[in-house]
Chain A
Amino acid sequence: MHTVFLVPNWFLGYDVFLEFTFAAITLLASIMAFKVYSISGQPQARLFGAGFLLISLSYLVQAVLNLFILTEINEAIDNVIELVTITQVNGMGVWTHMILFLSGLAMLTYMTLNSRNWRLYVLTLALLMVAVWLSSSRLYAFYILSMVLLAFTALHYLLNFLLHKRVQTFIVFLAFLLLLFGSVHFTLSLVHSVEYVIGHLAALVAYTLILINLVMVWKHEQEKG
Protein backbone atom coordinates (compact mmCIF):
# COMPACT_ATOMS: atom_id res chain seq x y z
CA MET A 1 0.00 0.00 0.00
CA HIS A 2 3.04 2.15 0.51
CA THR A 3 3.05 3.63 -2.97
CA VAL A 4 -0.60 4.67 -2.97
CA PHE A 5 -0.07 7.26 -0.28
CA LEU A 6 3.30 8.50 -1.49
CA VAL A 7 1.86 10.11 -4.59
CA PRO A 8 0.78 13.74 -4.16
CA ASN A 9 -2.98 13.96 -4.70
CA TRP A 10 -2.71 16.45 -7.57
CA PHE A 11 -0.35 14.06 -9.39
CA LEU A 12 -2.76 11.10 -9.32
CA GLY A 13 -3.67 10.21 -12.88
CA TYR A 14 -0.70 12.03 -14.39
CA ASP A 15 1.58 9.26 -13.13
CA VAL A 16 -0.59 6.66 -14.90
CA PHE A 17 -0.40 8.62 -18.15
CA LEU A 18 3.39 8.93 -17.84
CA GLU A 19 3.82 5.23 -17.09
CA PHE A 20 1.81 4.30 -20.19
CA THR A 21 4.05 6.69 -22.16
CA PHE A 22 7.21 5.07 -20.77
CA ALA A 23 5.80 1.64 -21.63
CA ALA A 24 5.15 2.75 -25.23
CA ILE A 25 8.60 4.32 -25.76
CA THR A 26 10.49 1.37 -24.25
CA LEU A 27 8.38 -1.02 -26.34
CA LEU A 28 9.32 0.96 -29.46
CA ALA A 29 13.02 0.75 -28.52
CA SER A 30 12.61 -2.98 -28.00
CA ILE A 31 10.92 -3.50 -31.38
CA MET A 32 13.65 -1.56 -33.18
CA ALA A 33 16.36 -3.53 -31.38
CA PHE A 34 14.75 -6.84 -32.37
CA LYS A 35 14.46 -5.56 -35.93
CA VAL A 36 18.18 -4.72 -35.96
CA TYR A 37 18.87 -8.18 -34.52
CA SER A 38 16.79 -9.90 -37.19
CA ILE A 39 18.73 -8.12 -39.95
CA SER A 40 22.24 -8.20 -38.49
CA GLY A 41 22.28 -11.22 -36.17
CA GLN A 42 23.96 -8.88 -33.64
CA PRO A 43 23.50 -10.63 -30.24
CA GLN A 44 23.77 -7.42 -28.21
CA ALA A 45 20.76 -6.03 -30.06
CA ARG A 46 18.70 -9.02 -28.97
CA LEU A 47 19.71 -8.50 -25.32
CA PHE A 48 18.94 -4.78 -25.58
CA GLY A 49 15.53 -5.61 -27.09
CA ALA A 50 14.76 -8.15 -24.38
CA GLY A 51 15.87 -5.73 -21.64
CA PHE A 52 13.65 -2.93 -22.94
CA LEU A 53 10.74 -5.33 -23.46
CA LEU A 54 10.92 -6.34 -19.79
CA ILE A 55 11.11 -2.69 -18.74
CA SER A 56 8.15 -1.88 -20.98
CA LEU A 57 6.11 -4.67 -19.40
CA SER A 58 7.08 -3.44 -15.93
CA TYR A 59 5.75 0.05 -16.74
CA LEU A 60 2.61 -1.43 -18.24
CA VAL A 61 1.96 -3.41 -15.04
CA GLN A 62 2.62 -0.30 -12.95
CA ALA A 63 0.32 1.85 -15.08
CA VAL A 64 -2.53 -0.68 -15.08
CA LEU A 65 -2.11 -1.18 -11.34
CA ASN A 66 -2.17 2.55 -10.58
CA LEU A 67 -5.17 2.99 -12.86
CA PHE A 68 -6.96 0.17 -11.06
CA ILE A 69 -6.23 1.73 -7.68
CA LEU A 70 -7.24 5.16 -8.89
CA THR A 71 -10.62 3.95 -10.13
CA GLU A 72 -11.37 1.42 -7.40
CA ILE A 73 -10.18 3.06 -4.21
CA ASN A 74 -12.84 5.79 -4.10
CA GLU A 75 -15.61 3.24 -4.55
CA ALA A 76 -14.13 0.89 -1.96
CA ILE A 77 -13.29 3.46 0.67
CA ASP A 78 -16.18 2.35 2.94
CA ASN A 79 -15.84 -1.34 2.23
CA VAL A 80 -13.16 -3.11 4.25
CA ILE A 81 -13.25 -6.31 2.14
CA GLU A 82 -12.76 -4.38 -1.08
CA LEU A 83 -9.92 -2.39 0.49
CA VAL A 84 -8.21 -5.64 1.50
CA THR A 85 -8.60 -6.94 -2.09
CA ILE A 86 -7.11 -3.72 -3.48
CA THR A 87 -4.20 -4.06 -1.05
CA GLN A 88 -3.57 -7.64 -2.20
CA VAL A 89 -3.76 -6.69 -5.89
CA ASN A 90 -1.44 -3.76 -5.21
CA GLY A 91 1.04 -6.04 -3.44
CA MET A 92 1.12 -8.50 -6.34
CA GLY A 93 1.31 -5.69 -8.89
CA VAL A 94 4.21 -3.96 -7.13
CA TRP A 95 6.07 -7.27 -6.94
CA THR A 96 5.47 -7.97 -10.63
CA HIS A 97 6.65 -4.46 -11.52
CA MET A 98 9.79 -4.83 -9.40
CA ILE A 99 10.67 -8.27 -10.83
CA LEU A 100 10.15 -7.17 -14.44
CA PHE A 101 12.01 -3.86 -13.99
CA LEU A 102 15.01 -5.44 -12.25
CA SER A 103 15.08 -8.26 -14.84
CA GLY A 104 15.14 -5.66 -17.61
CA LEU A 105 17.84 -3.53 -16.01
CA ALA A 106 19.90 -6.64 -15.23
CA MET A 107 19.56 -7.63 -18.90
CA LEU A 108 20.85 -4.21 -20.01
CA THR A 109 23.73 -4.45 -17.52
CA TYR A 110 24.52 -7.96 -18.78
CA MET A 111 24.47 -6.59 -22.34
CA THR A 112 27.08 -3.95 -21.42
CA LEU A 113 29.41 -6.70 -20.15
CA ASN A 114 29.54 -8.19 -23.66
CA SER A 115 29.49 -11.68 -22.18
CA ARG A 116 28.05 -14.79 -23.80
CA ASN A 117 27.72 -16.63 -20.51
CA TRP A 118 24.01 -16.72 -19.58
CA ARG A 119 24.83 -18.00 -16.11
CA LEU A 120 26.17 -14.54 -15.30
CA TYR A 121 22.73 -13.03 -15.99
CA VAL A 122 20.92 -15.74 -14.03
CA LEU A 123 23.30 -15.26 -11.09
CA THR A 124 22.83 -11.46 -11.12
CA LEU A 125 19.07 -11.84 -11.29
CA ALA A 126 19.00 -14.41 -8.49
CA LEU A 127 21.10 -12.16 -6.23
CA LEU A 128 18.84 -9.17 -6.97
CA MET A 129 15.66 -11.10 -6.20
CA VAL A 130 17.04 -12.57 -2.97
CA ALA A 131 18.29 -9.13 -1.87
CA VAL A 132 14.86 -7.55 -2.45
CA TRP A 133 12.96 -10.47 -0.91
CA LEU A 134 15.04 -10.53 2.29
CA SER A 135 15.09 -6.77 2.74
CA SER A 136 13.05 -5.29 5.58
CA SER A 137 12.01 -2.51 3.17
CA ARG A 138 11.58 -4.14 -0.21
CA LEU A 139 10.75 -0.92 -2.01
CA TYR A 140 13.92 0.75 -0.69
CA ALA A 141 15.97 -2.28 -1.73
CA PHE A 142 14.34 -2.23 -5.17
CA TYR A 143 15.06 1.47 -5.74
CA ILE A 144 18.64 1.25 -4.48
CA LEU A 145 19.42 -1.84 -6.58
CA SER A 146 17.88 -0.13 -9.63
CA MET A 147 20.14 2.84 -8.90
CA VAL A 148 23.24 0.63 -8.82
CA LEU A 149 22.30 -1.06 -12.13
CA LEU A 150 21.51 2.28 -13.75
CA ALA A 151 24.81 3.75 -12.53
CA PHE A 152 26.62 0.82 -14.14
CA THR A 153 24.69 1.23 -17.40
CA ALA A 154 25.17 5.03 -17.44
CA LEU A 155 28.92 4.47 -17.07
CA HIS A 156 28.79 2.18 -20.11
CA TYR A 157 27.07 4.93 -22.10
CA LEU A 158 29.60 7.52 -20.91
CA LEU A 159 32.40 5.28 -22.22
CA ASN A 160 30.43 4.73 -25.43
CA PHE A 161 30.11 8.51 -25.85
CA LEU A 162 33.85 8.98 -25.28
CA LEU A 163 34.47 6.31 -27.93
CA HIS A 164 32.01 7.73 -30.48
CA LYS A 165 31.76 11.47 -29.86
CA ARG A 166 28.48 12.11 -31.65
CA VAL A 167 25.20 13.84 -30.79
CA GLN A 168 23.34 10.52 -30.70
CA THR A 169 25.71 8.82 -28.27
CA PHE A 170 25.54 11.90 -26.04
CA ILE A 171 21.72 11.83 -26.13
CA VAL A 172 21.67 8.19 -25.02
CA PHE A 173 24.24 8.83 -22.28
CA LEU A 174 22.20 11.80 -21.03
CA ALA A 175 19.04 9.66 -21.09
CA PHE A 176 20.58 7.00 -18.85
CA LEU A 177 22.08 9.66 -16.59
CA LEU A 178 18.59 11.13 -16.17
CA LEU A 179 17.15 7.68 -15.45
CA LEU A 180 19.80 7.36 -12.74
CA PHE A 181 18.91 10.82 -11.42
CA GLY A 182 15.24 9.81 -11.46
CA SER A 183 15.93 6.60 -9.56
CA VAL A 184 17.64 8.62 -6.80
CA HIS A 185 14.44 10.66 -6.49
CA PHE A 186 12.27 7.55 -6.52
CA THR A 187 14.32 6.28 -3.56
CA LEU A 188 13.72 9.56 -1.73
CA SER A 189 10.01 9.40 -2.62
CA LEU A 190 9.54 7.00 0.28
CA VAL A 191 10.21 10.01 2.52
CA HIS A 192 8.89 12.98 0.49
CA SER A 193 6.07 12.47 -1.99
CA VAL A 194 7.22 15.33 -4.23
CA GLU A 195 10.30 13.25 -5.08
CA TYR A 196 7.93 10.79 -6.81
CA VAL A 197 6.92 13.61 -9.17
CA ILE A 198 10.55 14.62 -9.81
CA GLY A 199 11.43 10.97 -10.49
CA HIS A 200 8.65 10.74 -13.08
CA LEU A 201 9.64 14.01 -14.73
CA ALA A 202 13.30 12.93 -14.95
CA ALA A 203 12.19 9.64 -16.48
CA LEU A 204 9.94 11.52 -18.92
CA VAL A 205 12.85 13.63 -20.19
CA ALA A 206 15.07 10.51 -20.32
CA TYR A 207 12.60 8.47 -22.37
CA THR A 208 11.91 11.46 -24.61
CA LEU A 209 15.65 11.57 -25.37
CA ILE A 210 15.60 7.85 -26.18
CA LEU A 211 12.61 8.47 -28.44
CA ILE A 212 14.49 11.31 -30.17
CA ASN A 213 17.39 8.97 -30.83
CA LEU A 214 15.03 6.30 -32.21
CA VAL A 215 13.49 8.90 -34.52
CA MET A 216 16.97 9.93 -35.70
CA VAL A 217 17.81 6.30 -36.51
CA TRP A 218 14.42 5.82 -38.17
CA LYS A 219 14.95 8.96 -40.27
CA HIS A 220 18.26 7.50 -41.40
CA GLU A 221 16.32 4.44 -42.52
CA GLN A 222 13.84 6.61 -44.43
CA GLU A 223 16.69 8.49 -46.14
CA LYS A 224 18.14 5.14 -47.19
CA GLY A 225 14.76 3.87 -48.35
Chain B
Amino acid sequence: MNKKRDRLQIIHDILWAIREKNGRIKPTHVLYKSNLSHQMLDDYMTNLIGNGFIIVKRSKDGKKTYSLTDKGFQYLNKYKVIVDFVDSFGLG
Protein backbone atom coordinates (compact mmCIF):
# COMPACT_ATOMS: atom_id res chain seq x y z
CA MET B 1 0.00 0.00 0.00
CA ASN B 2 1.47 3.35 -0.93
CA LYS B 3 1.65 6.57 1.05
CA LYS B 4 -1.25 8.30 -0.71
CA ARG B 5 -3.48 5.27 -0.34
CA ASP B 6 -2.84 5.43 3.36
CA ARG B 7 -3.88 9.06 3.37
CA LEU B 8 -7.10 8.30 1.48
CA GLN B 9 -7.76 5.40 3.84
CA ILE B 10 -7.16 7.53 6.96
CA ILE B 11 -9.52 10.23 5.68
CA HIS B 12 -12.07 7.50 4.99
CA ASP B 13 -11.67 6.07 8.50
CA ILE B 14 -12.14 9.48 10.15
CA LEU B 15 -15.22 10.31 8.07
CA TRP B 16 -16.59 6.81 8.59
CA ALA B 17 -16.19 7.18 12.35
CA ILE B 18 -18.19 10.41 12.24
CA ARG B 19 -20.91 8.82 10.10
CA GLU B 20 -21.12 5.87 12.46
CA LYS B 21 -22.01 8.32 15.22
CA ASN B 22 -24.93 9.65 13.15
CA GLY B 23 -22.85 12.38 11.59
CA ARG B 24 -21.63 13.93 14.87
CA ILE B 25 -18.73 12.90 17.05
CA LYS B 26 -16.61 14.27 19.91
CA PRO B 27 -12.87 14.89 19.32
CA THR B 28 -11.81 12.18 21.79
CA HIS B 29 -13.90 9.59 19.95
CA VAL B 30 -12.33 10.55 16.64
CA LEU B 31 -8.89 10.10 18.19
CA TYR B 32 -9.88 6.68 19.48
CA LYS B 33 -11.55 5.51 16.26
CA SER B 34 -8.92 6.81 13.84
CA ASN B 35 -5.98 5.25 15.67
CA LEU B 36 -3.73 8.27 15.02
CA SER B 37 -1.41 10.30 17.22
CA HIS B 38 -2.84 13.53 18.58
CA GLN B 39 -0.58 15.60 16.34
CA MET B 40 -1.44 13.63 13.21
CA LEU B 41 -5.14 13.79 13.92
CA ASP B 42 -4.90 17.56 14.40
CA ASP B 43 -3.24 17.85 10.99
CA TYR B 44 -5.89 15.71 9.35
CA MET B 45 -8.79 17.49 11.05
CA THR B 46 -7.41 20.90 10.04
CA ASN B 47 -7.11 19.63 6.49
CA LEU B 48 -10.59 18.10 6.46
CA ILE B 49 -12.18 21.24 7.89
CA GLY B 50 -10.21 23.41 5.44
CA ASN B 51 -11.36 21.29 2.50
CA GLY B 52 -14.98 21.32 3.62
CA PHE B 53 -15.37 17.63 4.53
CA ILE B 54 -16.38 18.30 8.12
CA ILE B 55 -17.53 21.24 10.22
CA VAL B 56 -17.00 21.99 13.90
CA LYS B 57 -20.06 22.62 16.03
CA ARG B 58 -20.23 23.79 19.62
CA SER B 59 -23.02 22.75 21.94
CA LYS B 60 -24.58 25.11 24.49
CA ASP B 61 -22.18 23.88 27.19
CA GLY B 62 -19.26 24.75 24.92
CA LYS B 63 -18.31 21.18 23.99
CA LYS B 64 -16.90 20.65 20.51
CA THR B 65 -18.28 18.09 18.06
CA TYR B 66 -17.49 17.30 14.44
CA SER B 67 -20.16 16.83 11.76
CA LEU B 68 -19.97 15.59 8.19
CA THR B 69 -20.79 18.00 5.38
CA ASP B 70 -22.37 16.91 2.08
CA LYS B 71 -18.84 16.76 0.67
CA GLY B 72 -17.84 14.42 3.51
CA PHE B 73 -20.77 12.11 2.79
CA GLN B 74 -19.94 12.24 -0.91
CA TYR B 75 -16.34 11.22 -0.18
CA LEU B 76 -17.57 8.13 1.70
CA ASN B 77 -20.01 7.22 -1.06
CA LYS B 78 -17.42 7.59 -3.81
CA TYR B 79 -14.45 6.24 -1.85
CA LYS B 80 -14.05 3.05 -3.89
CA VAL B 81 -14.19 5.00 -7.15
CA ILE B 82 -11.59 7.46 -5.88
CA VAL B 83 -9.24 4.63 -4.83
CA ASP B 84 -9.85 2.82 -8.12
CA PHE B 85 -9.00 5.91 -10.15
CA VAL B 86 -6.05 6.95 -7.98
CA ASP B 87 -4.50 3.47 -7.95
CA SER B 88 -5.00 2.65 -11.61
CA PHE B 89 -3.70 6.00 -12.85
CA GLY B 90 -0.79 6.03 -10.39
CA LEU B 91 -1.84 9.22 -8.63
CA GLY B 92 -0.51 8.09 -5.28
Contacts and interface: CB of A to CB of B under 8 A. Distances in A.
A and B: bona fide binding partners? yes
Contacts of A39: 71, 74-75, 78, 82
B90 A156 contact: yes
Contact of A112 (B78, B86, B90): B90
A106 interface: no
A156 B2 CA distance: 14
A42 B4 contact: yes
A176 B14 CA distance: 35
Nearest to A159: B90
Interface residues of B, number: 24
26 contacts: A36-B81, A36-B85, A39-B71, A39-B74, A40-B11, A40-B82, A41-B51, A41-B53, A42-B4, A42-B82, A44-B92, A45-B91, A48-B91, A112-B90, A157-B90, A166-B88, A168-B84, A168-B88, A169-B90, A172-B88, A172-B89, A213-B89, A217-B85, A220-B84, A224-B77, A224-B81
Interface of A: 32-33, 36, 39-42, 44-45, 48, 111-112, 156-157, 159-160, 163-164, 166, 168-169, 171-172, 213, 216-217, 220-221, 224
